[in-house]
Amino acid sequence: MPYPSLTPDTAAGVIARFLKARGVERIFALCGGHIMPIWMRADAEGIRIVDVRDERAAVYMAHAHGELTGGLGVALVTAGPGLTNAMTGIANAHIARAPVLVLSGGPPRPQENRGGLQDLPHVDLVRPITRYARTVREPSLVLQELDEAVSRAQGQGGEPGPVYLDFPTDTLRGEVPRPVQLEEHFRPKSRALLRPDDDDVAAAVDLLWSAKRPLVISGRGARGAGPELCALLDRLGAPYLDTGESKGLIPEDHGSVVAAMRGAIMGEADVVVTVGRRLDFQLAYGSPAVFGGARFLRIGDVASELRDNRRGTVELFAQPAAALAAIVRKAGNRAPAVDRAWVQSMRSKHEERAQKLRTSMRTAASDSAGRIHPNRLLAELQNQLEPDAVVIADGGDFLSFARVGLSCATYLDPGSLGCIGVGTPFGIAASLAFPDRQVVVATGDGAFGFNAMEIDTAVRHKAPVLVVVANNGAWQIEVHDQNDTHGKVVGTRLQFANHAAMARAFGMHAERVESAEDLQPAIARALANRPALLDVVVSPEARSSDGKSGLAWVPDLQPLAAWDEAERKWRGS
């Protein structure tokens, strides 16, 4: 064996020590020769390797870990197909702005560009979907590259998101001279607080405190700013909408929550406050066609959440928590101009609708073939969820039902990339990060299939997750669209496969549930025996709000049919 054993002073050893110093407790990974030096040194440093069945799942897991813990998610994937498999996960983290470090390897330098095993232009492939992407060929530069990459992943001076580094395998085996192993690179960097400008705060207060019908909407950038957001809502008495990015931030029983009035309130507000939220397709791109003459107050510490699509009358370039606190402080005892009757009426209509939904969910009837209504499944699930449960929703129609029907403290879903298939990997990472909380994945059968093999990972790693598959034997939201738009169903039906049998083959507690009466005890048994899977046969006849809104058929000007129509009228076309 011509190669010396891997010491802590090799590049691989230094990478592992760096990760350890930065508090990384686990790496989501799939093995391969090119990365084995990092793998073995990480293990030697006591970092747990969560070995998965597809690199895409490794990145999804790192993404969920990063988002849920506020720390850094790390994925380790091998060269060539290892990286190309990982790319959907990287793209999803890019759109979600999730702090993920992806590490890979490549052919040793003497073999570069000679037709070596798994040789691909990795950096070229991932550049448009990463904040930073480099090949590090020189062992003595490994530390500073890691240091800069992690800063960029965490959004220091830019948008957070995925970063990518790879290393030729001989570089990983190379020695890093002790003198260049500067302690300063190992040390975590303080996260500087971006404070708002005083004049901007004063202008924000003037705008908000003179608004009659203000509306506050939060997103990714508001995570961690729950108390400050609550304080603003209480002080101003403004109604509030969340979006999937920050669901759970404000408890649903808070008097500002008007989620069920989303459509109406977006058209009625006179001042719209976005807190760390893009005005993307989920918010009609902020278009005047939907938001009328509303003026915007935008709060964010990254450009896209401050400036995309619509400028603010006031723009607070600052960390949302700091900006919100400064606004409340500055407002002092000033009396808001909010139209209380309007807020009250929105709130009571919201409560009425929410109550109606809860009742209809509890009593939703099975279809003529006895298949359970998805809402009935969700109601039974909700009954057994603890207040601090983590919920991951995934799928088409079923995602739509679950997003509206389940309340929880912490929530993740495929996000604005619409990246279905994230459910099981997200759930595994969440349950490893929070083993004492309930973690429940509510997924469509189609979405489940993408990463179904990760149930093996859940079993081997004893990840206490419950996966609930809503089995309607189809990519049902697409079936509905084909029926409505094209009058023919082709290539969108699956089979009512027995996912429970599949899970049991991997040693997981799993049951198939075919009647509503069996739901309650089956959910209780599954929660008590995690990791577990429930394969619940649900009705393909049920139609979700997303299914009805036109989202599936992709209108030209706006994502939803009603907004598309409004946009057309507004443009005069």
Ligand X SMILES: Cc1ncc(C[n+]2csc(CCOP(=O)(O)OP(=O)(O)O)c2C)c(N)n1
The 44-83 contact track toward ligand X, x by CB under 6 A, reads ----------------------------------------
* Of the candidate residues 478, 511, 535, 564, the single one contacting ligand X (CB under 6 A): 478
Integer Cα distance of 275 and 320 in angstroms: 6
Integer Cα distance of 453 and 18 in angstroms: 31
Count the Cβ atoms, other than its own, within 10 Å of residue 289: 20
Among the residue ranges 129-137, 188-196, 213-221, 469-477, the one whose residues contact ligand X (CB under 6 A): 469-477
Strand order in the sheet with 410-412: 410-412, 390-394, 439-444, 465-471, 532-537, 509-513
Distances (CA, A) of 281 to 69, 284, 351: 27, 5, 26
Q: At what angle do helices 226-236 and 320-331 cross, to 10 degrees?
A: 30
With CB atoms as reference, the residue minimizing the distance to ligand X is 444
**CB 450 → Mg ion: shortest distance, Å?**
12
Residue linked to tokens 């970092």? 47
Give the residue from 240, 244, 277 showing the smallest Cα distance to 256: 240
Count the Cβ atoms, other than its own, within 10 Å of residue 70: 12
Residue 517 bears catalytic tag:
no
**CB 288 → ligand X: shortest distance, Å?**
29
Among residues 204 and 470, whose Cβ is nearest to ligand X? 470
User: DSSP label at 52?
Assistant: -
Among the residue ranges 43-51, 172-180, 247-255, 468-476, the one whose residues contact ligand X (CB under 6 A): 468-476
* Of the candidate residues 19, 297, 477, 526, the single one contacting ligand X (CB under 6 A): 477
**CB 446 → Mg ion: shortest distance, Å?**
5
* 481 φ, ψ (degrees, to nearest 5): -65, -45
Integer Cα distance of 143 and 168 in angstroms: 15
Among residues 242 and 445, whose Cβ is nearest to Mg ion? 445
Q: Is 445 in the site for Mg ion (CB under 5 A)?
A: yes
Which tokens go with 127? Answer: 């550049």
DSSP codes of every residue in 355-415 = HHHHHHHHHPPP-TT-PBPHHHHHHHHHHT--TT-EEEEESSHHHHHHHHH---SEEE-SG
Among the residue ranges 41-49, 68-76, 300-308, 466-474, the one whose residues contact ligand X (CB under 6 A): 466-474
Interface size with ligand X, residues (CB under 6 A):
19
Amino acid identity of residue 222, one-letter, is A
Q: At what angle do helices 340-363 and 374-383 cross, to 10 degrees?
A: 100
Integer Cα distance of 395 and 277 in angstroms: 23
* Of the candidate residues 196, 405, 444, 531, the single one contacting Mg ion (CB under 5 A): 444
Q: Is 266 in the site for ligand X (CB under 6 A)?
A: no
Q: Which does residue 336 touch among ligand X, Mg ion, none (CB within 5 to 8 A, set by kind)?
A: none
The 391-420 contact track toward ligand X, x by CB under 6 A, reads ----xxxx-------------------xxx
Give the residue from 424, 435, 461 showing the smallest Cα distance to 48: 461
The 433-462 contact track toward ligand X, x by CB under 6 A, reads -----------xxxx---------------
**CB 412 → ligand X: shortest distance, Å?**
15
Q: Which does residue 420 touch among Mg ion, ligand X, none (CB within 5 to 8 A, set by kind)?
A: ligand X
The 5-44 contact track toward ligand X, x by CB under 6 A, reads ----------------------------------------
Instruction: Please check whether residue 60 is in contact with residue 451, taking contact to mean a CB–CB distance below 8 angstroms.
Output: yes
The catalytic position among 145, 315, 478, 511 is 478
With CB atoms as reference, the residue minimizing the distance to Mg ion is 444
**CB 247 → ligand X: shortest distance, Å?**
19
Among residues 270 and 445, whose Cβ is nearest to ligand X? 445
Helix (H) or strand (E) holding 19: helix 11-21
Among residues 145 and 478, whose Cβ is nearest to ligand X? 478
* 228 φ, ψ (degrees, to nearest 5): -65, -35
Q: Is 374 in the site for Mg ion (CB under 5 A)?
A: no
Q: Is 472 in the site for Mg ion (CB under 5 A)?
A: yes
Q: Is 476 in the site for Mg ion (CB under 5 A)?
A: yes
Integer Cα distance of 540 and 116 in angstroms: 49
**CB 446 → ligand X: shortest distance, Å?**
3
Integer Cα distance of 23 and 27 in angstroms: 11
Query: Which residues are marked as active site?
Result: 478
Binding site for ligand X (CB under 6 A): 395-398, 418-421, 444-447, 470, 472, 474-478
Binding site for Mg ion (CB under 5 A): 444-446, 472, 474, 476
